[in-house]
Structure 1
Amino acid sequence: MNRHPWLYPARVALLEAALAERILVIDGAMGTMIQTHRLDEADYRGARFANGYDQEHPGDGRGHDLKGNNDLLSLTRPELIAGIHAAYLEAGADLVETNTFNSTAVSQADYGLEHLVRELNLEAARLARAACDAAEAATPDRPRFAIGVIGPTSRTASISPDVNDPGFRNTCFDALREDYRVAIDGLIDGGVDVLMIETIFDTLNAKAALFAIGEAFDARGARLPVMISGTITDASGRTLSGQTAEAFHISMSHARPLAMGLNCALGAKELRPHVETLAQVADCFVSAHPNAGLPNAFAEYDETPEEMATMLEEFARSGLLNLVGGCCGTTPAHIRAIADAVRGLPPRRMPAPSGAAA
């Protein structure tokens, strides 16, 4: 994955220079912001799907409700997605994530829209890149970066979905690799600066994504920086497929990512010991974008921007962070508070190589 030159060497140089200088801020939740618009079925369909099917392609979405397919809004309500990116950038984000968490065939199959995978990724990448360009035009001394998001999919290669048949799998490595490859090519062609495999609950799924990334880089003879972000699912301190933060790092470090981190499932308080573990062992940059606390009885997130920022400021003062942002429940207000809290604090320093002189 690392034997090719950079696809955008000038952009990579800007990103590396910024990481050396300060803690960079990632945006917050896309889904949380979409929910605030209270969209209905017609909003999700837009003009293109108003007649009950995709009018621009033979494949279709017939017989499926499309409400809830947030990734589709990159095509049917692009101005809404662009506005969310702009709000996060205005709040202080250095990096914004594409609206592509479910832009894989296996996830879009729920809506009968598998044929849109490349287009969803391509257009979402263009929206994120355009928002970054607009922000940079207003503040030329501060570059902004578009992260191409590669989500976990709704299937797991390591765990059976049937408790009565532990050997059963509803997907496999090669099926995931092929699916991810289509999404990755769309993200790259759309102009993202970085690829991020995020919310990883199954390391084998992530390895399939890494394999597909390697294939895409080989086909182009060039590469982009790659970020990897896992998910500690509960108080066990492990991913769904059973790994601690340290084991997760060991099993993924062969990819030589720009950054490894943790996101989702937990709030900052619960995530802290696992980020600390990662910060002690990772030979790359470390990221964290936790939820706004734990969900309440109504599956809502109550942690205020000030509460979350205070906890993440402590992460930064303890030398744990190179990149920080928010996941479920976070808004531009959270990102603004986090950006203010870590401003001026030094980024985490890389650990010395094993055997290096003190």
Structure 2
Amino acid sequence: MKIEDILKERIMVLDGAMGTMIQRHPLEEKDFRNEQLKDHPHPLKGNNDLLSITRPDIIKEIHRQYFEAGSDIVETNTFGSTWVAQADYHLEFLVYEINYQSARIAKEVAAEFTQKEPHKPRFVAGSMGPTTKLASMSPDVNNPGYRAITFDQLAAAFKEQAKGLMDGGADLLLLETITDTLNVKAALFAIQELFDEMGRKIPVMVSGTITDASGRILSGQTADAFLISVSHVPLLSIGLNCAMGAAALRPYLQVLDEKAPFFVSAYPNAGLPNEFGHYDQTPDEMAAEVEEYLKEGLVNIVGGCCGSTPDHIRSIAAIAARYTPRKKESLKEAS
């Protein structure tokens, strides 16, 4: 069954945080190394994407917990798996392998659950984070014209990542936590080029991040402007994730609901972090805030970002099952 058909029938559930779950494991430097990396001269601890290669057992178990909690879609452990981000660890040479293996192990777990419940197929979304560099803003306040990276460099980085994810079996590509629209435009350009070269395509999801109460992403665009900037590509969904808790995202989701010709997604953080950087919002509290989206018919896909766990997803999934999804066709005709 195609995901587009399922999204017309019911609200689909994305997974929760990967990093939050990895932090539950007391990992040491040795967990981030294998035979190939045993003599790598730079520290690797904290490079969580690398665990897909060095500790796939941990990543597979996290995927399994989210599927058991009610997720229809899990994200690959590849948020920082471009050469741009992996350069911090001097691991540019491993980028394709990290993406390929991350997609492969997620797909293995998804296939297990789909086999057990054929009426509820499970999907893998290839996570493509924003990288560590901005294309439309300078990191140097004294030199506003400076750019740390070019559009072409970003496009090449995203293309390599997308190929690894597709070769590994990803069903979707999810460009997420977008803070700079020019970065995602480079990614979309690269993905369309890759689709042409491979002779096949998979659905693409885009999810931006509203950084504060101004209602803008970091590079300055409102939700409306952000939507317009990426609407030239036939997306599966447009949405928002991370940054703020569920309640704070609602007015921006209302904008997307009104104007987007695509399905709409939302996966907020579990509230705001406390002074120690921990998220205190309980599963029931988070689900109650997400329910407000569902009552208004704003979304087609819901899940969780930072601080969310399988318990949060379980509560969200239980509530999502009671509601019908946002209807995009009628809105598309009206716009």
> Could you tell me the TM-score, scaled by structure 1's length?
0.91
Match of 1:26 in 2: 14
The one-letter code matched in structure 1 to 2:8 is: A
Extract unaligned runs of 5+ from structure 2: none
1:352 aligns with 2:331: yes
Shift of 1:355: 5.8
Q: Structure 2 vs 1, CA of residues 196 and 305 (structure 1 numbering), >3 Å: closer, same or farther?
A: same
Give the drift of 1:47: 4.2
Contact 2:4 2:236 in 1 (8 A): no
Q: Quick one: distance in 2 between partners of 1:205 and 1:89?
A: 31
Q: Give the partner amino acid of 1:288.
A: A
Bigger shift: 199-208 or 215-224? Answer: 215-224
SS at match of 1:262: strand
How far is the alpha carbon of 1:247 from its aligned partner? 0.7
Report the counterpart of residue 196 of structure 2 in structure 1. 218
* Amino acid across the alignment from 1:180: F
- Cα deviations by residue, 1:67-126 (Å, 9 ceiling, x for unpaired): 100000000000110000000000000000000000000100111100001001000000
AA at the equivalent of 2:259: V
- In structure 1, the residue matched to 2:5 is 17
Equivalent of 1:135 in 106, 113, 136 = 113
Q: Tell me, in whole angstroms, the C-alpha distance in 2 between the residues paired with 1:355 and 1:106.
A: 41
Q: Any conservation in 2 of the 1:14–1:143 contact (CA below 8 Å)?
A: no
- Please say if residues 259 and 331 of structure 2, whose CA atoms lie closer than 8 Å, have aligned partners that are also in contact: no
> Is 1:187 aligned to residue 165 of structure 2?
yes
Paired position in structure 1 for 2:227: 249
Please say if 1:71 is aligned against 2:52. Answer: no
Query: 1:277 aligned to 2:235?
Result: no
Tell me what 2:30 maps to.
42
Residue 46 of structure 1: how far off its partner (Å): 3.8
For 2:180 and 2:74, locate their aligned partners in 1 and report how far apart those are by CA, in whole Å.
24
* Partners of 2:49 and 2:216 in 1: CA distance: 28
Q: 1:314 to 1:90 in 2, by over 3 A?
A: same
Q: Is the CA contact (8 Å cut-off) linking 1:48 and 1:76 kept in structure 2? A: no
Unpaired runs of at least 5, structure 1? 1-12, 54-61
What secondary structure does 1:155 align onto?
Answer: coil
Q: Distance in 2 between matches of 1:276 and 1:353?
A: 15
- Residue of 285, 288, 292 corresponding to 1:307: 285
The residue aligned with 1:174 is 152
Q: Which runs of 4+ in 1 moved over 2 A?
A: 46-50, 351-356
Amino acid at match of 1:109: A
SS in structure 2 at match of 1:352: helix
Question: Is the Cα–Cα contact under 8 Å of residues 194 and 225 in structure 1 kept in the other structure?
Answer: yes
Aligned mates of 1:307, 1:98 — CA distance in 2: 27
SS of residue in 1 equivalent to 2:64 = helix
Report the 3-state secondary structure (helix = DSSP H, G, I; strand = E; otherwise coil) of the residue aligned with 1:311: helix
Contact 1:47 1:76 in 2 (8 A): no
